[in-house]
Amino acid sequence: IYDTFRGRLLPDQNMIKMGGLFEYKEKFLNANRIIIVGCGTSWHAGLVGEYLFEDLARIPVEVEYASEFRYRNPVITDQDVVIAISQSGETADTLAAIKLAKEHGATIFGICNVVGSSIARETHAGAYTHAGPEIGVASTKAFTAQVTVLSLLAIEIAKMKGTLSETRYHELLEELNGIPKKMEAMLQSDSKVREISERFKDATNCLYLGRGYNFPVALEGALKLKEISYIHAEGYPAAEMKHGPIALIDENMPVFVIAPRNGQYDKIVSNIQEVKARNGKIVAIVSEGDTEIAKMSDFTLEIPDSSEAFSPLLTTVPLQLLSYHIAVMRGCNVDQPRNLAKSVTV
Ligand code: F1P
């Protein structure tokens, strides 16, 4: 009944029909820009959305922490489309951000997991992720589901705008269809992830590096480790390393590098060399069959090949597993981490 492009039904409101992409396509096609708002993991998914919309549909995108956006008197016009992302659909900052944007005449598109949630109700149009409830507090499958919806939206809008050829459109959709099988295959690497987790479970600081589409994945990898295992971790765009974090690198610093073959490969190889020259410990997420980075790394985890646009859906999984195993080994409660709430409603 619910459909990404044809809108949503709110079952507990006498099946009220909410808009989908097709009803609001003119708004997207004529938008000055897209503003994506969210908090935590949902904000990271929004960052992947920025790469997708700019790359495929050539629409300028801003990604804002809802918790800052709502308080900073932002410039919003009726030519803006705001995409609000929230797993719970109840996050107070995200709700306040969309109310503010609505007051300025913007069109609001929601991406939520929970059907009939406050954010879903407040939006003009939207899509449910259909990810099912998150059992734990930290978002995991919500992230990959949000990125999938953003991919579908970007592909569809790009086709309507004419920035994507008919052939490329079908190729991308077909590839996206094949991603769940690849994710499933990757779960086979669980024992290797466990071995790596054993090696780094006592770390006190970790660095996550990625470039392009995988920069947000570096942020998300670091957030998952912080949230469930209480290890301090920072995510950085790999190219920014030399502007500060490089000072932290020594033989005690694990550096998780997201380095699939399809994204700025030679540049990430140089970043790894910079870390190795300072005796940092490298765990690299690489494409199947990669030997060049494997030679330089202490550990590698392989992911199946994909186009760069879809690689976050694959590279995220081993990082989530790693945080999970490290947290369990440290005796942390992965479902109910201290100080965190499932939905932050104040
Ligand atoms: C946002 C969020 C989650 C995080 C934790 C606290 O929630 O920051 O990303 O994992 O649960 O809240 P939401 O708006 O996506 O529900």
Q: Which of 70, 111, 344 to mutate to test the pocket of ligand 1 (most atoms within 8 A of CB)?
A: 344
DSSP strand pairing (205-210 vs 232-237) = parallel
Strands (E), 103-253: 107-112, 125-128, 205-210, 232-237
Determine the average pLDDT of the residues in 208-227.
97
**Ligand 1 atom 5, closest CA:** 138
CA dihedral sign of residues 50, 133, 156, 319: positive
| Greater pLDDT, 253 or 16 | 253
Q: Determine the Cα–Cα distance for residues 314 and 328; give it in Å rounded to an integer.
A: 22
Query: Which pair of structure tokens corresponds to residue 275?
Result: 């870390």
Q: Closest by alpha carbon to 132, among 142, 119, 144?
A: 142
320 touches ligand 1 (CB under 6 Å): no
Closest atom of ligand 1 to CA, residue 94: 14
40 touches ligand 1 (CB under 6 Å): yes
55-72 confidence digits (pLDDT tens): 999 999 999 999 999 999
DSSP classification of residue 19: B
340 touches ligand 1 (CB under 6 Å): yes
How many angstroms separate the alpha carbon of residue 120 from the centre of ligand 1? 15
Residue 110 pLDDT: 94
283-316 confidence digits (pLDDT tens): 999 999 999 999 999 999 999 999 999 999 999 9
Q: What is the CATH number of domain 188-329?
A: 3.40.50.10490
Token pair 């589901």 is found at 145
| Greater pLDDT, 273 or 132 | 273
User: Considering the chain, what percentage of its residues have pLDDT values greater than 90?
Assistant: 78
DSSP classification of residue 139: -
Closest atom of ligand 1 to CA, residue 142: 15
Residue 6 pLDDT: 62
88 touches ligand 1 (CB under 6 Å): yes
**Ligand 1 atom 8, closest CA:** 40
Q: Determine the Cα–Cα distance for residues 294 and 298; give it in Å rounded to an integer.
A: 8
Determine the average pLDDT of the residues in 1-18.
57
Confidence of residue 17 (pLDDT cuts 50, 70, 90): low
Measured in degrees and rounded to the nearest 5, phi and psi for residue 87 equal -60, -55
Closest atom of ligand 1 to CA, residue 38: 14
Provide the edge-to-edge strand list for the sheet that holds 125-128.
61-65, 33-38, 80-86, 107-112, 125-128
Confidence of residue 12 (pLDDT cuts 50, 70, 90): low
Strands (E), the chain: 8-10, 16-18, 33-38, 61-65, 80-86, 107-112, 125-128, 205-210, 232-237, 254-259, 281-287, 299-303
Token pair 């938008």 is found at 31
Q: Determine the Cα–Cα distance for residues 18 and 326; give it in Å rounded to an integer.
A: 42
pLDDT at 4 over 90: no
| Domain-wise residue ranges, the chain | 8-164, 188-329
Q: Closest by alpha carbon to 287, among 271, 267, 270, 307?
A: 307
140 touches ligand 1 (CB under 6 Å): no
Annotation marks residue 342 as catalytic: yes
92 touches ligand 1 (CB under 6 Å): no
**Ligand 1 atom 2, closest CA:** 40
Q: Which of 36, 37, 41, 220 to mutate to test the pocket of ligand 1 (most atoms within 8 A of CB)?
A: 41
How many angstroms separate the alpha carbon of residue 84 from the centre of ligand 1? 13
How many angstroms separate the alpha carbon of residue 165 from the centre of ligand 1? 36
Determine the average pLDDT of the residues in 73-93.
96
pLDDT mean across residues, the chain? 92
Predicted structure pTM score: 0.94
How many angstroms separate the alpha carbon of residue 131 from the centre of ligand 1? 14
115-148 confidence digits (pLDDT tens): 888 998 899 999 888 887 777 778 899 999 999 9
Q: Determine the Cα–Cα distance for residues 339 and 119; give it in Å rounded to an integer.
A: 23
Residue 20 pLDDT: 82
Closest atom of ligand 1 to CA, residue 344: 12
Identical fold, 8-164 and 188-329 = yes
Closest atom of ligand 1 to CA, residue 137: 11
Confidence of residue 274 (pLDDT cuts 50, 70, 90): very high
Q: What is the CATH number of domain 8-164?
A: 3.40.50.10490
173-206 confidence digits (pLDDT tens): 999 999 999 999 888 889 999 999 999 999 999 9
ipTM of the complex: 0.95
Strand, coil or helix: what is 205? strand
pLDDT at 1 over 50: no
117 touches ligand 1 (CB under 6 Å): no
